[in-house]
Chain A
Amino acid sequence: MSEQNTDVIQGTLDMLILKTLSLQPMHGFGIARRVEQISRGVFKVNPGSLLVAMQRLERAGWLDSEWRQTENARRAKFYRLTRTGRKQLEVETADWSRRVAAIARLLEAEA
């Protein structure tokens, strides 16, 4: 019995996070949830890797974070895309599209 692979494609986690946050500020679980929902369950995000990635992106200056009260009076860390983060998202998206197109062309050529 083989389980379906739900790992995020290597190297795309940063892009997914940036993309998700480009819509609105969000906390860690929200991001994981959104990635899962929009990918219709194709990708599941491991919380450990997610939070490490968030820390890295924050250090790189692409995210800002702040602690906020949630509706049920809990402390939650919300992440927000910065201006350089938005630029980075554009770069990564363009790069990704270019590569996907190339792979698609290769696969089509073989067919």
Chain B
Amino acid sequence: MSLWRQLTRGLRALTHREATDADVSDELRHYLDLSAASHERSGLAPDAARRAAQLEMGNMTVAREQVRSYGWENAVETLAADVRYAVRRLRANPGFAVVSVLTLALGIGAATTIFSVVNPILFASLPYPHANRLVTLADRGSDGSGVPPTFGTYLELVARSRSFESLAASDRWQPSLTGTGDPERLVGQRVSATYFHTLGVVPNVGRDFAASEDQPSGTRIVILSDRLVQRRFGGDRGIVGRSIRLNDNEYLVIGVMPPRFTDVLAPAADIWAPLQAPTHGEFNSREWGHHYQIVGRLRPAASRRMAADELKALSGTPIREFARPAWADLSNGVLLQSLQDVVAADARPALLAIMGAVLLLLVIACVNVANLLLARSAQRRAELAMRVALGAGRGRLIRQLLTETLVLALVGGAGGLAVAAIGVRTLIALSPPGLQSVDAIAIDGPVFGFALVVSAAIGLLVGVVPALGSARGIGAGLHGGSRRATGTRSAVRRALVVAEVALALVLLVSAGLLMRSLERLFAVAPGFDASRLLTMQVIDPGRAYRSDTALRQFYERALDAARQVPGVTAAALTSQLPLSDDLDSYGYEVASTPWVKAGEDGAALRYVVTPDYFATMRIPLRRGRLLQATDATAMPEAVVISESFARQKFGTTNPIGERVRFGPEAGSDRPWGVIVGVVGDVKQQSLASTTTDAFYVAMGHWPWVDNVQSLIVRTSGDPAALAPAIKRAVWSVDANQPIQRVMTMEGLITLSASQRRFALIIIESFALAALVLAAVGIYGVLSGSVSERMREIGVRSALGATRRNILTLIVRQGLTLVLLGIVIGVGGAIAATRALVSLMFDVSRLDPATYVGVGVLLVGVSLLACWLPAWRAARVDPAITLRAE
């Protein structure tokens, strides 16, 4: 009750200050009047009575203040007054205010942006219950890295392991949707019935898969993503229970996932169907291929270490029931990783580097603002001394200075949020494809809190140092001297500038190294001529072309149609396209050497192509001959291999005529293929990849016809302009073929380096900001120092120093700091760039050209920053400065 009174009365006093003051005055005056009247009654003359009453009361103003100052509202009022005063002070010095606020806004904004991006990707737990118990399992390769497991391995682990509450397998599935609207190839997964259960999610509408439905002959059913239902079926929940047409078959929709559900194992997935794989697959069946994913949920009592130990023991002791083929014998064990780590793995190096960079930038921003505040407190010594002389307590003064700094930091923080709002949007636009959780990136509550805390912390941090300094040197402040205090303070400021330059150098070197890496990367020859190539995926929805022969006929007719388009000089089809996402390797068997297992560097990239593929791509022939039109059917099967494959497998001996078997035919008694030619190496995964072992066979000789192929067209003009005409040509053969990933080859190359480019753009912009901040810092310190040394400079020029002498004096002072900063920064950069190694390509961490270039850049910019104050110093008129003393 009394708390309520405190609050309401206090608020009333705050909002009706004048009325409250008048009340207090009235009351006191009334008191005085009555007191005087009482004295008069006891016999004093009216004047004497009033005097006596006043004497009793003491100083009326003091009494009024005493009464007034009661209550919490007065603390609020003092704060408000401090804030008002601070704002007035800042507005009186707009240059300082604007530079500080912008600096802070930049630092805080960048930090908030990066935090917004990094938080959901690296730190926020996955959107599943008890996500820390989710792990992925993979075959461990000979080099310790993970190889996608086989379904056979999954079956064995399900039966034998005890550490998991539940295990699930999934496989990529990209069915073509027809029957409603445009034909479209969907991204999806075939999953074991335990999949959603393992992740801990259930469909929003309808139901999950049942174990009985995950059998080889099970019914055709699917679960859809909410996203797909919104996009293709108008958001109609009634889709559950209806059928949709996929790959020319009817599939019953049994459920729709919740809107916020993301399948982190396949973030683009919109559709899921039961795996329905046979439990006793032949070794040469699809089920023993390395293309599955296994996700598991650990029992609450099982740690990751215990599970890993169990898997190790299990893979070392094969049992008869679960015979393993040579390529999946688990001889290197099973790789267990937390799902969180796997999801973040691709983006982690770039994100960590960016996070480091943003921290550096934030530190530089703080240093800069501290520097500005120090410079300002030097200018305000007289004002502060005056206020002390007028009776301001030390505590009161520090409180005032802190308030000023906090106001600065909070305004900077607000500006930072604005910067972050723009930054986050830019980052999302720039983010490399495949960056997980992009949907989750936004400025949210925690990020806002982060910005606020950071800005307040910076305010306190940079506010305390100058405030303490001011309070200490005040005694001496009034009589203008106190050279010592000034001395230590400018030493601190010089140290701050050195730090700033050093930090900026670290950022600039990082940006420089990344820039050089990207340059080197793009200088790498991909192994073909990427100019004027247009590519697109042509997909068979499985509708009209049931037989392989019919499918092949369709592709050949589509290719012919594309060739007829004016401006096309060559065209070809391939099962996988270099520098796209495609990655398709098969084990092989060479007649003259023993069996080689997949996953032990024994796999080679598989290209099933039309014979003119080499001519269209301009892949050079090294030995023998290229594939010919007759190779599609002629026996023995003609095989072309890549240079590195030839070197790796046959050394210096001539591989032409060697007999090989690939993929499912390897190890079988099918007829051998014969190597007829060797071609140049082609980069498949990315320009940085070193895996270039490859084999090429003609479409028709592979055991099946791929229902997703890339059409490659070389054009005489701008390739992108031809895309509509080529699509029309393909559709003229069959209007129901989904066509996607229409890209020029040069576009694909740019895309393949997108993660590096992403990191580069961010670190580049941070480095630029750091450079500007460092220049501002140097400028601030030097101009402050010039102001303090006016008199000395005046004396010097009065004694005959030329303008040139003075210019040199000031510039030398600045450059000394810069050089010191550079020396320290080089040490820092050598240590810090360790974090960048995984993003670098073909450039040493200690690349001298980068260091020299950055050094020259820093010195150049610093010279500019030194020039202005030096110029001002050189123009000092000795007569005026000396008279001013």
Contact = CB atoms under 8 A, between A and B. Distances in A.
Interface of A: 27-30, 32-33, 44, 46-49, 51-52, 55-56, 58-61, 67, 74-77, 84
B67 A59 contact: no
B44 to A, nearest CB: 16
A60 B63 contact: no
A48 B30 contact: no
A60 B31 CA distance: 23
A48 B67 contact: yes
A61 B33 CA distance: 28
Interface residues of B, number: 25
Contacts, number: 67
A52 B31 contact: no
Nearest to B9: A59
A47 B63 contact: yes
B250 interface: no
B622 to A, nearest CB: 96
Interface string B290-320: 0000000000000000000000000000000
B62 interface: yes
A51 B30 contact: no
22 contacts: A27-B34, A29-B34, A29-B35, A30-B34, A33-B34, A44-B56, A46-B58, A47-B56, A47-B63, A48-B62, A51-B24, A51-B31, A51-B67, A52-B66, A55-B67, A58-B9, A59-B9, A59-B71, A61-B1, A61-B5, A67-B23, A77-B27
B57 interface: yes
Given A29-B35, A59-B5, A51 B71 contact: no
Given A46-B58, A48-B63, A55 B71 contact: yes
B218 to A, nearest CB: 76
B788 interface: no
A81 to B, nearest CB: 15
B2 interface: yes
A32 B24 CA distance: 17
B28 interface: yes
Nearest to A44: B56
B6 interface: yes
A55 B70 contact: yes
A88 B58 CA distance: 31
Interface of B: 1-2, 5-6, 9, 23-24, 26-28, 30-31, 33-35, 38, 56-58, 62-63, 66-67, 70-71
Nearest to A62: B2
A47 B61 CA distance: 12
Contacts of A61: 1-2, 5
Nearest to B38: A33
Contacts of B71: 55, 59
Contacts of A28: 27, 30-31
B521 to A, nearest CB: 73
Contacts of A46: 58
A77 B28 CA distance: 10
A59 B10 CA distance: 9
B31 to A, nearest CB: 5
A50 B58 CA distance: 13
A47 B9 contact: no
Nearest to A33: B38
B31 A74 contact: no
A52 B35 contact: no
Contacts of A33: 34, 38
Given A60-B2, A61-B2, A27 B67 contact: no
B520 to A, nearest CB: 75
The 9 A-B pairs at the shortest CB distance, nearest first, are namely A48-B63, A29-B34, A48-B66, A61-B2, A51-B67, A29-B31, A60-B2, A55-B70, A77-B27
A58 to B, nearest CB: 7
Given A51-B67, A55-B71, A77 B23 contact: yes
B62 A27 contact: no
Contacts of B2: 59-61
A61 B27 CA distance: 20
Given A48-B67, A59-B2, 18 more contacts: A27-B27, A30-B34, A33-B34, A46-B58, A47-B31, A48-B57, A48-B58, A51-B24, A51-B31, A51-B67, A56-B70, A59-B6, A60-B2, A61-B1, A75-B30, A76-B27, A76-B30, A84-B1
Given A33-B38, A46-B58, A58-B9, A51 B1 contact: no
A39 B56 CA distance: 18
A47 B38 CA distance: 15
Contacts of A67: 23
A31 B616 CA distance: 108
Contacts of A56: 70
A77 B20 CA distance: 12
Contacts of A30: 34
A29 B29 CA distance: 10
B10 to A, nearest CB: 8
Nearest to B26: A75
A84 to B, nearest CB: 8
A52 B67 CA distance: 5
Contacts of A75: 26, 30
Contact of A47 (B1, B6, B28, B70): B28
Contacts of A29: 30-31, 34-35
Nearest to A27: B30
B762 to A, nearest CB: 56
Contacts of A76: 27, 30
A51 B28 contact: yes
Contacts of B28: 47, 51
